[in-house]
Amino acid sequence: MKNTVITIQQAKERGEKITMLTAYDYSMAKLIDQAGVNMILVGDSLGMVMLGYEDTLSVTMEDMIHHTRAVARGVKDTMVVADMPFMSYQTSVYDAVCNAGRLMKEGRANAVKLEGGREFAEHIRAITAASVPVVAHLGLTPQSLNAFGGFKVQGKTEEAARKLLEDARAVEAAGAVAAVLECVPAKLAKVVTEQLHIPTIGIGAGAGCDGQVLVYQDMLAMFGDFKPKFVKQFGEIGTMMKEAFQRYIEEVKSGVFPAEEHTFKIDDEIIEKLY
Ligand code: KIV
């Protein structure tokens, strides 16, 4: 069954956990879809895990459309959410609607995600009015890395916790269909989840959220630059890949690969005529 804004809302109401993973290309999207994950996030984390930047700030609309389109071609039932990259919506409500529209029209996303709370309520309202569902992103919002002074857990003081709760209420009131909570203390994320009608999707926000999201390279141990505390590695795929690459080198060098079954045939008579 196709996952939509309605089915994820129903999942919250039934108390069923929602699953989300990132993907950035066709093959991975297909595997994740076949596994039955509810939502794929084409995250601007692609700047780091796919393009090798040190943060998400250099990711462009063209990067996001290119990867979102590839992911959308790979899915059947999974709902595709595309990140709005840095400065594609912060500049004006008009830019926000145009760029959200491009992610849906050109990228074939089912929804967009943007970082920020009440200060972007007007943007969320306008994008939603244009029939593009919006997932909000609160807590640690990596596009604000320089404003935060680093990657830090958010909402730890009473003032910060109240602000996060008010931001969550503001994005819900503006029409957001879900809210990602990143690097928020688990007990605070639970309070937010209980007070919102829309689903919360946590990353580093504990088990009290309505769903969870992870970057696939992190959960498959394919990205070794750093490992955040909230990551659980569900497979040693990075190690398996390296071992496979090494076996390939050995077999090519020793002549074991390609073997008879990997080659195409031609009549010996034709070959003899070439001498
Ligand atoms: O870009 C991304 O992958 C994200 C997740 C970490 C939530 O925003």
193 and 249, same domain (yes or no): no
264 and 178, same domain (yes or no): no
The pLDDT tens digits of the residues spanning 188-208 come to 999 999 999 999 999 999 999
Q: Report the pLDDT value the prediction gives residue 203, as an integer from 0 to 100.
A: 98
253 and 166, same domain (yes or no): no
267 and 138, same domain (yes or no): no
Kindly list the averaged pLDDT for each block of 10 residues, start to end, along the chain of length 275. 97 98 98 98 97 97 98 98 98 98 98 98 98 98 92 94 98 98 98 98 98 97 88 96 98 98 97 96
35 and 161, same domain (yes or no): yes
155 and 256, same domain (yes or no): no
Best mutation site among 50, 55, 203, 230 for ligand 1, i.e. most ligand atoms within 8 A of its Cβ?
Answer: 203
Q: Is the CB of 215 under 6 A from ligand 1?
A: yes
83 and 179, same domain (yes or no): yes
78 and 163, same domain (yes or no): yes
Q: Is the CB of 181 under 6 A from ligand 1?
A: no
Which CATH number covers residue 47? 3.20.20.60
Q: Report the pLDDT value the prediction gives residue 224, as an integer from 0 to 100.
A: 80
130 and 260, same domain (yes or no): no
Q: Is the CB of 180 under 6 A from ligand 1?
A: yes
232 and 244, same domain (yes or no): no
Mean pLDDT of the chain: 97
97 and 189, same domain (yes or no): yes
3-state secondary structure the chain: CCCCHHHHHHHHHHCCCEEEEECCCHHHHHHHHHHCCCEEEECCCHHHHCCCCCCCCCCCHHHHHHHHHHHHHHCCCCEEEEECCCCCCCCCHHHHHHHHHHHHHCCCCCEEEEECCHHHHHHHHHHHHCCCCEEEEEECCHHHHHHHCCCCCCCCCHHHHHHHHHHHHHHHHHCCCEEEEECCCHHHHHHHHHHCCCCEEEECCCCCCCEEEECHHHHCCCCCCCCCCCCCCCCCHHHHHHHHHHHHHHHHHHCCCCCHHHCCCCCHHHHHHCC
Number of domains observed in the structure of the chain = 2
* 78 neighbors 22 (Cβ within 8 angstroms): no
Q: Tokens 């074991």 — which residue?
A: 256
The pLDDT tens digits of the residues spanning 138-154 come to 999 999 999 988 888 99
Q: Is the CB of 37 under 6 A from ligand 1?
A: no
Q: Report the pLDDT value the prediction gives residue 33, as an integer from 0 to 100.
A: 98
Measured in angstroms, how far is the CA atom of residue 260 from the centroid of ligand 1?
45
**Residues known to be catalytic:** 182
Measured in angstroms, how far is the CA atom of residue 240 from the centroid of ligand 1?
25
229 and 252, same domain (yes or no): no
Q: Report the pLDDT value the prediction gives residue 120, as an integer from 0 to 100.
A: 98
- For 268, the domain range is 240-272
Q: Report the pLDDT value the prediction gives residue 14, as an integer from 0 to 100.
A: 98
Q: Report the pLDDT value the prediction gives residue 260, as an integer from 0 to 100.
A: 96
Measured in angstroms, how far is the CA atom of residue 265 from the centroid of ligand 1?
49
